[in-house]
Amino acid sequence: MPLVEVEFDSGVVTKACAAQLVRSIIEFLLYDRGQIPLPYASFRELVKSLTLPVEDDLPVRGADIKLRKERELAKQTVSTVDNLFETITKYVEHSPDIREVLILLGSTIYTAKEAFHVRMPDIDVNHHGINHVRDLKKDLMKLNRALITSDEFNSIRPVQLPTNVHVLIKALNIPPNVDEDVFTPLDDYEVPQKCPIFHVQLNSSANAAPLNCCNRLEVFQDNSFSEMVSALSDLETTTKTAETPECWLQLNIIPRGFNRCSALI
């Protein structure tokens, strides 16, 4: 069972930190599993800077049409990944009891060729991400080092070509007002038998002393931030009362890999 286990040194995993950990693992997999030709930040910057050949130029050349189509696909990949990340961040803000994340590569979740199962650390909702940016940087470095240097993750690589990247989330309580345009609840989902599962276990520090930093420090808030926090705490109250059995929620935002380098030059 290929496993990467990471114990974070910082005493606190905030909601912002948890969302960023999930995003980092997806970014790592996109590049490591050949779904994009460059690390995500560089790929995103490059694709955003690309212009599309003008459609009504005459005479229309076949090569331009092809280039235009390929660049449109690259832009689609970036906007879908951005949208996915934004949704994950919002979800963790609203429902910080996220326990597991499953990232699947393959045409559909039922024909997945590789699965990455992430167990999340305990999230401390009493601390604010803004006060723990330095901890977050250290945690991300530790996570990335563990992923990059893992021999087990490199032991088998069944996925060779760009495919779909599916993300599923499991939380202790499913928010009662889950947006069905964004999520599909899956009652009995299991990873296909032939699909190898790679595990990532993230642990909060076992030895950290309890911190009360965020009780003492004044958190920077502008009005929109305060309004958002108050809306979220209302939502959290309703979430806690709605105990539901655990099930996977599939995000309906499904990026497709893109690796045609010739379209990016």
Say how many residues touch Zn ion, by CB under 5 A. Answer: 4
Q: Which is nearer to Zn ion, 113 or 127 (CB)?
A: 127
CA 28 – CA 146 distance, rounded (Å): 11
The tokens for 166 are: 């599916």
Binding mask 93-122 for Zn ion (x = CB under 5 A): ------------------------------
Cβ 194 vs Cβ 19: under 8 Å:
no
Q: Which amino acid is at 255?
A: P
| 219 counts as binding Zn ion under rule CB under 5 A | no
What torsion do the CA atoms of 30, 34, 35, 41 make, to the nearest 10 degrees? 50
Q: Which of 77, 87, 131, 239 binds Zn ion (CB under 5 A)?
A: 131
In the complex, the smallest distance separating the C-beta of residue 213 from Zn ion, rounded to whole angstroms, is 4
Q: Which of 213, 219, 231, 242 binds Zn ion (CB under 5 A)?
A: 213
Q: Which is nearer to Zn ion, 114 or 139 (CB)?
A: 139
| 204 counts as binding Zn ion under rule CB under 5 A | no
- What does R_g of the chain's alpha carbons equal in angstroms? 20
CA 237 – CA 102 distance, rounded (Å): 26
Q: Which of 84, 136, 214, 251 binds Zn ion (CB under 5 A)?
A: 214
Cβ 99 vs Cβ 168: under 8 Å:
no
Distances in Å between the alpha carbon of 186 and those of 40, 96, 182?
29, 20, 13
* Nearest to 46, CA basis, from 73, 11, 78: 78
In the complex, the smallest distance separating the C-beta of residue 54 from Zn ion, rounded to whole angstroms, is 52
Q: Which is nearer to Zn ion, 16 or 25 (CB)?
A: 16
| 127 counts as binding Zn ion under rule CB under 5 A | yes
Among the residue ranges 48-56, 95-103, 180-188, 206-214, the one whose residues contact Zn ion (CB under 5 A): 206-214
Cβ 74 vs Cβ 47: under 8 Å:
yes
In the complex, the smallest distance separating the C-beta of residue 15 from Zn ion, rounded to whole angstroms, is 12
Binding mask 149-168 for Zn ion (x = CB under 5 A): --------------------
Which positions lie near Zn ion, rule CB under 5 A? 127, 131, 213-214
